[in-house]
Amino acid sequence: MTDAATDLKGGTPFTPQALDREARVYVAGHRGLVGSAIVRKLEAEGFTDVVGRTSAELDLKDRDAVFASFREVQPKVVVLAAAKVGGILANSTYPVDFLSDNLRIQTNVMDAALEQRVERLLFLGSSCIYPKFAPQPIQEDTLLTGHLEETNDAYAIAKIAGILGVQAVRRQYGLPWISAMPTNLYGPNDNFSPKGSHVLPALIRRYDEAAAAGASSVTNWGTGTPRREFLHVDDMADACLHLLEHYDGPAQVNVGTGSDVTIREIAETIAEVVGFHGGTEWDTTKPDGTPQKLLDVTKLAAAGWTSRIGLREGLESTVAWYRQHAGALRG
């Protein structure tokens, strides 16, 4: 057997290097928060053949359709950014959907990429893969050392399976696939839906609508004391390209800023940015989620990358984008 995977496994070790700007890059989930940022980054860096398929064109949960699409497209590089995502409410309410949909999306894309012997694949997960009470900042090797946060354990298990999928391909076929685990992301094309969004876009919408209505107060879930790390999605896209060109290894790489803030602090900053001058109440009957989730980014820094977009700067540009597109966003 002399396929590409066997040649790689038994031949010269892979060395990360600059990607061919004319190579076909398939971005699964190219219209989502992360995928759209990656497309913008690749095009800005001179990539001339970046492709994707909308959900109307291709249901990534349909295995036969995914295989047929990959046989047609024949990508040289794949970024797997497609996923069913949501905040605490969505994850708690629909765990079956988050587990089943994400497992099918990941497995179908990876298996189809394997059939095409795609040499370079980047799988994107989430920092929720780590134990609820992992030592802070969270190092990559704390994976599977404790219990997950119960409000998003189904999604986390699916993403852990994706990491193992990458590692299994590396072991069995020798293909230099990699995984990256971003912290909480925000920016253009985020989901600002009241029922489906993560904490930061939910706060932006809540405070902006309150400011427009002249409301006297806003009520947020929980105590406001949990600490969270936030990374602008354009920084994430930059990190993805950097890892594709500079990193090779079986372990997932944390992608974050290395610093965090409390939910109360981020709420206060958003209130200032949108111009809301009322008060903030905290509904302590609602769950807080993980007390702290700060990623150790030592491995990422060793690979030569650090974040560039400050939180205040990122929030201001995201609020401006939200206001420009509010009429067309999901309800």
End-to-end, the C-alpha distance of the chain in Å comes to: 53
Q: Kindly list the catalytic residues.
A: 155
Name the helix (H) or strand (E) containing 123: strand 120-124
Q: CB–CB of 256/297 below 8 Å?
A: yes
pLDDT of residue 139: 98
CA distance 131 to 144: 7
The answer to whether the annotation marks 221 as part of a ligand binding site is yes
Higher pLDDT: 6 or 124? It is 124
Decide: residue 116, CB within 10 A, 0-12 exposed, 13-18 middle, 19+ buried.
middle
The reported pLDDT for the residue numbered 330 is: 57
Query: How confident is the model over 248-274, as a mean pLDDT?
Result: 97
Judged against a pLDDT cut of 60, whether residue 324 lies above it is answered with: yes
Residue 214 is labelled as binding a ligand: no
**So what's the pLDDT on residue 8?**
52
291's CB contacts (< 8 A; 6+ apart) are: 133, 225, 226, 227
Q: Tell me: the pLDDT tens digits for 131-176?
A: 989 999 999 999 999 999 898 999 999 999 999 999 999 999 999 9
204-222 confidence digits (pLDDT tens): 999 999 999 999 999 999 9
Q: Confirm or deny that 60 is annotated as ligand binding.
A: no
Known binder of ligand: residue 30? Answer: yes
Is pLDDT above 50 for 2?
A: no
Please check if 31 is assigned to a binding site.
yes
**Is the per-residue pLDDT at 34 higher than 60?**
yes
Cα of 318 vs its chain's centroid, Å:
17
What mean pLDDT comes out for the span 239-250? 98
Segment among 177-186, 268-277, 320-329 with least mean pLDDT: 320-329
CA diameter of the chain: 71
Is position 59 annotated in a ligand binding site?
no
Specify whether the CB–CB gap between 233 and 182 falls below 8 A.
Answer: no
The full set of domains in the chain, from first to last, is 19-189+231-258+293-309 (3.40.50.720)
pLDDT over threshold 50, residue 4: no
**Average pLDDT rounded to a whole number, residues 275-280:** 97
Tell me if 187 is assigned to a ligand binding site.
no
pLDDT of residue 12: 67
Is 126 marked as a binding-site residue? yes
Mean per-residue pLDDT for 23-35?
97
Pair 190, 85: CB distance under 8 Å: no
- Is 228 among the annotated ligand-binding positions? yes
Q: What is the pLDDT of residue 11?
A: 57
- What pLDDT score does 7 carry? 45
- Per-residue confidence (pLDDT) for residue 9, from 0 to 100: 61
- Mean pLDDT across the stretch 284-304? 92
Asked if the peptide bond before residue 75 counts as cis, ω within 30 degrees of 0, the response is no
> 66-109, pLDDT tens digit by residue?
999 999 999 999 999 999 987 777 888 999 999 999 999 999 99
What single-letter amino acid sits at 326?
A: A
Calculate mean pLDDT across residues 236-249: 98
CA 140, CA 243: separation in Å to the nearest integer?
Answer: 15
Return the pLDDT at 194. 75
pLDDT higher than threshold 70 for residue 3: no
Number of other residues whose CB lies within 10 A of the CB of residue 48: 12
* Mean predicted lDDT score pLDDT of the chain: 93
CA distance 191 to 329: 8
Q: What is the pLDDT of residue 85?
A: 86
Q: In this prediction, what percent of the chain has a pLDDT beyond 90?
A: 84
| The model's pTM | 0.91
Q: Which 8-state DSSP code applies to residue 328? A: G
More confident residue, 88 or 330: 88
Residue 48: its pLDDT value, please?
98
Does 34 show up as a binding residue in the annotation? yes
